[in-house]
């Protein structure tokens, strides 16, 4: 147990910076996976899938699930192109049972739960008037959180907080796993803010996924400009997206600093499709 706690403590001292300004153009971003991974993958994916199914059922009961067929098809088409390059960041994603659903709601939000369970709220599409490139970088950002196992890290943290380290080991023994603790953790994992490091990493990986799929990664900066305008307008509630994805002042700068790493990937993707860069 002592050794285990030591390992856990070490794993909490996380990760160097993802940004390297002197990087070689076109080699892609440099981001490491999350390391506070107390809960087994299967546990995290199963409880996330359950939580996701429950959310989709609740939306369906309100006739708010996939009501706009054209928008849904657009989201799924974009997801289909982002998923193949995702395996570069997490091999397991090849066996994930990906889902993409659209919830009718004014909420300005989107997420991807562990195991590839994606949801967009119609509010984020309409309020930000998202182009395909912008949908792709947002979806890429959300998918990146799942690929880098940020949700798994947060669920692990939540389980630790709620049950304490002494019984966390028992939770790992699935025979003793408390379903309510896990589903609560899965729930919190989509409502709690991501850390700044997780946000930066998700931005960069999201840009690379978009670029490799043939979407303009420069849209990432534009999305955050739009988001912050909306957040600062004072006319309405700040976007829920900002409460789970806290914006930091240097975000757009970090995105722009990393563009040279991914622009050549975007251009290559366009060339292979026989298109010219826009």
Residues engaged in binding Zn ion (CB under 5 A)? 194, 199, 202, 245
DSSP3 helix / strand / coil % (the chain, rounded to 5): 60, 5, 30
Q: How far is the CB of 244 from Zn ion (least distance, A)?
A: 7
Q: Identify which of residues 77 and 196 has a Cβ nearer to Zn ion in the complex.
A: 196
Among residues 142, 149, 157, 199, the one annotated as catalytic is 142
Measured CA distances, 237 to 242, 250, 278 (Å): 11, 23, 34
Q: Which residues contact 10 (CB under 8 A, 6 or more apart)?
A: none
With CB atoms as reference, the residue minimizing the distance to Zn ion is 245
Q: How far is the CB of 142 from Zn ion (least distance, A)?
A: 7
Measured CA distances, 206 to 41, 154, 160, 245 (Å): 22, 19, 29, 14
Q: Identify which of residues 181 and 217 has a Cβ nearer to Zn ion in the complex.
A: 217
Q: How far is the CB of 27 from Zn ion (least distance, A)?
A: 23
In whole angstroms, give the CA distance from residue 101 to residue 95: 19
Q: Identify which of residues 133 and 199 has a Cβ nearer to Zn ion in the complex.
A: 199
Question: 103 has which bridge partners?
Answer: 65, 121
Q: How far is the CB of 222 from Zn ion (least distance, A)?
A: 16
Q: Identify which of residues 24 and 191 has a Cβ nearer to Zn ion in the complex.
A: 191
Q: What kind and span of H or E run contains 98?
A: none
Active site residue 134: no
Q: What are the strands, taking DSSP E only, across 148-253?
A: none
Provide the annotated active-site residues: 142
């Amino acid at each position: 147990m002592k050794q285990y706690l030591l390992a856990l403590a070490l794993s909490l001292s996380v990760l160097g910076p993802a940004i390297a300004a002197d990087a070689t153009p076109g080699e892609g971003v440099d981001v490491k996976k999350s390391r506070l991974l107390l809960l087994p993958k299967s546990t995290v994916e199963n409880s996330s899938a359950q939580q996701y199914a429950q959310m989709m059922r609740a939306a369906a009961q309100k006739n708010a699930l996939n009501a706009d067929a054209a928008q849904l098809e657009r989201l799924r088409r974009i997801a289909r192109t982002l998923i193949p390059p995702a395996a570069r960041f997490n091999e397991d994603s090849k066996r994930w049972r990906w889902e993409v659903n659209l919830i009718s709601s004014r909420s300005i939000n989107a997420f991807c739960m562990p195991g590839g369970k994606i949801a967009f709220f119609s509010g984020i599409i309409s309020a930000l008037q998202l182009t395909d490139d912008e949908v792709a970088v947002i979806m890429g950002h959300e998918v990146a959180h799942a690929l880098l196992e940020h949700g798994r890290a947060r669920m692990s943290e939540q389980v630790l907080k709620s049950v304490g380290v002494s019984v966390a080991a028992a939770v790992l023994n699935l025979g003793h796993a408390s379903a309510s603790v896990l589903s609560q953790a899965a729930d919190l994992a989509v409502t709690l803010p991501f850390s700044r490091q997780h946000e930066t990493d998700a931005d960069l990986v999201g840009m690379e996924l978009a670029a490799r799929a043939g979407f303009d990664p420069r849209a990432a900066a534009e999305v955050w400009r739009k988001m912050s305008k909306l957040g600062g307008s004072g006319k309405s509630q700040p976007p829920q997206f900002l409460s789970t994805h806290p914006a930091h002042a240097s975000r757009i700068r970090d995105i722009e600093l990393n563009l040279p790493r991914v622009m050549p990937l975007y251009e290559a993707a366009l060339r292979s499709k026989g298109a010219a860069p826009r």
